Amino acid sequence: MDKLVSLAKRRGFVFQSSEIYGGLGSVWDYGPLGVELKRNVKDRWWRSLVHQRDDVEGLDAAILMHPRVWEASGHVAGFTDPLVDCRTCKSRFRADKLTDARCPQKPSKVPGEHAACDLTEPRQFNLMFKTFMGAMEESASVVYLRPETAQGIYVNYLNVLTSSRQKIPFGIAQIGKAFRNEITPGNFIFRTREFEQMEMQFFVRPGEDMEWFERWREIRLGWHHDLGLAPARLRWHEHGPGELAHYAKAAYDIEYEFPFGWQEIEGIHNRTDFDLSRHQEYSGKKLEYFEQASGERFLPFVVETSAGADRVTLTVLVDAYREEMVDDEMRVVLGFHPRVAPIKAGVLPLTKKDGLPEIATDLYHAIKRHYPAFYDDGGAIGRRYRRQDEVGTPWCFTVDHETLDGRTVTVRHRDSMQQERIGLDHVTTWLAEQLRD
């Protein structure tokens, strides 16, 4: 992880927030390559759920919502973690995760084990960030930064249903920021206080929920495979009765094997009619669905798929990172699937003379009209290849003296390091073929 974090900073994937002021705890900024990588992850999610399906609509709800939403959802009362403080070292720990923590004064022990530890009784701590709306900082004007995007979907479910003319079963998908005042954030962008979720709520007839739950499990695991993640590093974790969230009847996590262990990257939940019935009760508005074919009215059940955009981006980075010895030299490669690679093509003139830079510049601009590309004429060609390997560029096109005679260029493949020649005028169509789904 240390090597990955350092590469991520050095090559412009992820920076610490407000770094020049010493950073802000577990908040991160995405640099030029990171923003492309994360966008590719989000775009693939949106395409597979919204563009490629007829039964899912998109939504972009506001972060700030009526405070009653969070009472109805159960977050005001129940979105808490149990906390203990140490009176000696003034550190704070999750009472239910003490065995994962280390005593700051004696790191070989867990908090509470060292003779000097003096822990308080556990207290419940709400994870929602609070702020005030309007000019008055008083309890009547409290609003929350949403801790999940799902509620924006539930409160808009009837709007989307009637405006899109969908029928049940159908889904609503949304990508957006969520905020949690996590007690034990960490592992780089794995658990942060500000993050993005990619959530889809699928509304079904009660009784058909478990069948859809199983279908969505299969679809979502398939999506992670299509991102290029190693199947052997993905597995299911079923929530036992003690683990289920307050809204869930059944839940599975998709877990990935990180260097710090198996961890959740996405949750699939059967949320029953919990959220819609609570919003119906708290808002006083009927949220029932009228099914014309049967003449029945019912509150739909909801199957939710919820993935973190940052967490999936981290997964893609971890999965792609490899080091290998080539000719007694270490080669660092981010072996991204070409579909998510931030830069699709490097364009390299072999030398800075004989008209090669002019041809390479034209080629670079031709590629840039379709795909992100990078032009590099600095240093030995081997070094330039390594620089592109390190940021995961799948192909480099080298313009050399043969280009002048036969209008061909060298394509150098990142993973195999093999080279072949293709026509200069066919580079963009060649790229399109490689990147086709």
Residue 45, burial from CB neighbour count under 10 angstroms (0-12, 13-18, 19+): buried
Q: 334 - beta bridge partners?
A: 321
Q: Which of 70, 170, 188, 195 binds ligand GAP (CB under 6 A)?
A: 195
Closest distance of CB 392 from ligand GAP, Å? 22
Alpha carbon distance 411, 432 (integer Å): 14
364/158 Cα distance (integer angstroms):
48
How many residues touch ligand GAP under the rule CB under 6 A: the total is 19
Interacting residue with ligand GAP among 34, 111, 152, 267 (CB under 6 A) = 267
Per-residue binder mask for ligand GAP (CB under 6 A), 297-336, x = binder: -------x-xxx-xx-------------------------
Given 36, 81, 266, 273, the residue binding ligand GAP (CB under 6 A): 266
Rounded distance, CA 112 to CA 385, Å? 52
Smaller CB distance to ligand GAP: residue 42 or 331? 42
The label of the residue with tokens 């794995």 reads: 190
CB 329 to ligand GAP: min, Å: 36
**CA atoms of 200 and 274, how far apart (whole Å):** 16
Query: Least separation, in Å, of the C-beta of 105 and ligand GAP?
Result: 27
For ligand GAP, which residue of 40, 197, 393, 403 counts as binding (CB under 6 A)? Answer: 197
Does 148 bind ligand GAP (CB under 6 A)? Our answer is yes
Give the tokens for residue 207.
Answer: 């009784």
First vs last C-alpha separation in the chain: 31
Q: Which is nearer to ligand GAP, 4 or 347 (CB)?
A: 4
- 152 makes contact with ligand GAP (CB under 6 A): no
Strand 129-132 and strand 142-145: the pairing is antiparallel
Applying CB under 6 A, which of residues 43, 85, 182, 354 lies at the interface with ligand GAP?
Answer: 182
The residue (of 187 and 388) whose beta carbon lies closer to ligand GAP is 187
Of positions 75, 180, 220, 414, contacts ligand GAP by CB under 6 A:
180
- When the beta carbons of 179 and 321 are compared against ligand GAP, the nearer one is 179
Tokens of 27: 């908040």
Query: In this complex, which beta carbon is closest to ligand GAP, that of residue 246 or of residue 407?
Result: 246
Binding-site string for ligand GAP from residue 67 to residue 96, where x marks contact by CB under 6 A and - marks none = ------------------------------
- CA nearest neighbour of 334 among 7, 6, 2, 15: 7
Among 56, 175, 227, 265, binds ligand GAP (CB under 6 A): 265
CB of 36 to ligand GAP, least distance (A): 19
Q: Which of 359, 350, 402 is nearest to 377 (CA)?
A: 350
CB of 217 to ligand GAP, least distance (A): 14
Write the CA distances from 90 to 85, 121, 357, integer angstroms. Answer: 6, 14, 61
DSSP 233: G
Q: Which residue is nearest to ligand GAP (CB)?
A: 308
**Shortest distance, position 128 Cβ to ligand GAP, whole Å:** 12
What are the structure tokens assigned to 60, written together? 């972009």
Question: What tokens were used for 393?
Answer: 């560029």
User: Please, what is the minimum distance in Å from the beta carbon of residue 334 to ligand GAP?
Assistant: 21
Instruction: Round to whole Å and give the CA distance between 175 and 389.
Output: 30
Instruction: Using the CB atoms, write b or e for 2-33: b if 16+ within 10 Å.
Output: eebbebbeebbbbebbeeeeeeeebbbebbeb
Q: Give the number of other CB atoms < 10 A from CB of residue 84.
A: 21
- 400 is an interface residue for ligand GAP by CB under 6 A: no
Q: Would you call 222 exposed, middle or buried from its count of C-beta atoms within 10 A (0-12, 13-18, 19+)?
A: exposed
Q: Rg (Cα) of the chain, in Å, rounded?
A: 25
- For the bound state, the minimum distance from the C-beta of residue 149 to ligand GAP, rounded and expressed in Å, comes to 7
Q: Does 264 sit near ligand GAP (CB under 6 A)?
A: yes
Closest CB to ligand GAP among residues 303, 367: 303
Positions touching ligand GAP (CB under 6 A) are 148, 150, 180, 182, 191-192, 195, 197, 199, 264-267, 304, 306-308, 310-311
